[in-house]
Amino acid sequence: MKRKKGIHFEVSERKILLRIVDLVMVFLAIYSLSFFLDFEYIIFNEENTVALVLLGIYITIFGTVFELYDLQKASKLDTTFRNIVITTSTVVLFYLLTPVLSPYLPEERIQIVYFYLAIIISILLWRLIYINLIESPRFYKRVLLVGEVSNIDGLVKALNTSDPNYKIVGFINSEVSTDESIKFKGLKEFEAKHFLDIIDKERISEVLVASFNTESIIAEVYHDLMLLLERGFKIREYTQVYEELLYRVPIQFVGKDFYKYFPFSRSNENKLYIFFQRGFDVVFAIFGLIVGIALLPLILLGNLLGNRGPLFYSQERVGRNSKTFRILKLRTMIVNAEKDGIKWAKKDDKRVTAFGKFLRRSRLDEIPQFYNVLKGEMSIIGPRPERPFFVSELSRIIPFYETRHIIKPGLTGWAQVNTRYGSSVDDSLTKLQYDLYYIKHRSMFLDFSISIKTLSTILYYRGQ
């Protein structure tokens, strides 16, 4: 079997490519301005090294905040253009407000306009190339799925929405097929006897094995998998790919050998990491409470006009090691909202007041929880604390649900920045997948990423 290997870019490679070329294009555009215009705001010389580095840092940080490096959004021109304009506007504003590190304002203010347009146009030109070249079918990763039919539907749906360049072209049933076997019509099925021919004909670059029990893989398919492996062909297990592309642990596919999937992060027992995290929690909680006190007059006025009732309310939640504590929040629902019993909070919930909706969307209702953080009951980053009633119900339905309680709950977290508020068992399953991913991969870098994404959530008014 001779096969010409196709060219494709992994998720991490595309994100790095976007960041590097963004910076290269911006610096080239600014450097070129001096050749075509009388531009003196930033000159490429040794004296402006700090100013140029600062510009690169601002572009990288605000590009992340405003989702320039979200691959789903980067593949759409309208969304990309909007994010470029917002990012550039913020970068230029902050750049002008840091005169000690950035150049002094030019006498001719038109140069600031040139500077602004140069950043927008240069990044936009590169993103047009990216969308029409890198995002084109010639760079897709073409994948063949090998697995049990019962697994395929959920797996395909999840992976198809994760990465625009990851294309599952078909599947081979790894079990013995009979007339009574369940058929899956959402994806083209290939016959097992044509396995090796399909690799060539369909230009497959990766085989994804999705099987609960490897012992059930028929001998013919197993033999061809071994042959491909010996020839250096890329074969991966579905849980590995699922985690890599979706950034969550696929607990619905985990069986009795669950311990293989939860090699929890060393950071959970790293004394230095825990010390710095607690220090960050205390500093940030104090800062948050100060901001809350500063905003209190406006919040009191809004509560008086749009909430009509007590400003605060407390509620029992489940914390670390399943110990309960009382969480403190700004009230966002009508008084006696649960007089008819405990219910999930849903989208456009009629129990949420007009001012309460604003508090939820802006995340201002979470400010009192900084007090819980200072007490050590919560952390800034961690799984969202749930009520005992829901924990009891969900832990009976969803496997490994109680596992999320091995660390402190948080104000924000990996689940909160990647999915909407949970209002059903299915939503809770998705949130748990994200929570377990955080516990498994917990690190300073992931905490920083969550902080940036939280800022994006607040700025884009995505709270619920």
Segment 178-205 shows an average pLDDT of 79
Calculate the average pLDDT of the chain. 86
- Stated pTM of the model: 0.81
Query: Domain boundary at 191, 218, 246, which?
Result: 246
- pLDDT for the residue 12: 80
Per-residue pLDDT tens over the stretch 223-244: 999 999 998 898 988 888 888 8
Residue 5 within any structural domain of the chain: no
Residues 127 and 168 in one domain: no
- pLDDT for the residue 455: 84
Q: Tokens for 74?
A: 């980067």
Residues 303 and 435 in one domain: yes
Residues 101 and 233 in one domain: no
Residues 182 and 69 in one domain: no
Residues 105 and 195 in one domain: no
Segment 434-446 shows an average pLDDT of 91
Which range marks the domain in which residue 17 is found? 11-134
Segment 290-295 shows an average pLDDT of 94
Residues 162 and 107 in one domain: no
Dihedral pair phi/psi, residue 372, rounded to 5°: -65, -35
Segment 130-149 shows an average pLDDT of 83
Segment 259-265 shows an average pLDDT of 72
- pLDDT for the residue 125: 96
Residue 95 within any structural domain of the chain: yes
- pLDDT for the residue 388: 92
Segment 306-323 shows an average pLDDT of 90
What's 242's domain CATH number?
Answer: 3.40.50.10700
Q: Residue 264 — pLDDT band, cuts 50, 70, 90?
A: confident
pLDDT over threshold 60, residue 1: no
For a pLDDT cut of 70, what percent of the chain falls above it? 92
Segment 361-378 shows an average pLDDT of 92
Query: Domain boundary at 115, 134, 153, which?
Result: 134
- pLDDT for the residue 62: 93
Query: Domain boundary at 101, 134, 167, which?
Result: 134
Residues 221 and 78 in one domain: no
Number of domains in the chain: 3
Residues 183 and 209 in one domain: yes
- pLDDT for the residue 63: 93
Residue 253 within any structural domain of the chain: no
Q: Does residue 391 or residue 459 have the better pLDDT? A: 391
Per-residue pLDDT tens over the stretch 65-115: 888 998 888 888 999 999 999 999 999 999 988 878 888 877 788 888 989
Q: Which of 46-50, 91-95, 207-211, 336-340 holds the top average pLDDT? A: 91-95
Per-residue pLDDT tens over the stretch 56-70: 999 999 999 888 998
- pLDDT for the residue 72: 82
Residue 270 within any structural domain of the chain: yes
Residues 361 and 432 in one domain: yes
Residue 1 within any structural domain of the chain: no
C-alpha span between 295 and 443 (Å, rounded): 32
Residues 6+ positions from 169 with CB-CB distance below 8 Å: 142, 143, 144, 188, 202, 204
Segment 152-167 shows an average pLDDT of 77
Residue 251 within any structural domain of the chain: no
Residues 283 and 415 in one domain: yes
- pLDDT for the residue 43: 82
Segment 1-23 shows an average pLDDT of 77
Segment 424-453 shows an average pLDDT of 89
Residue 261 within any structural domain of the chain: no
- pLDDT for the residue 184: 63
Residues 305 and 420 in one domain: yes
Residue 6 within any structural domain of the chain: no
Residues 6+ positions from 87 with CB-CB distance below 8 Å: 59, 62, 63, 65, 66, 68
Residues 123 and 148 in one domain: no
Q: Tokens for 89?
A: 């506007």
Q: Residue 257 — pLDDT band, cuts 50, 70, 90?
A: low
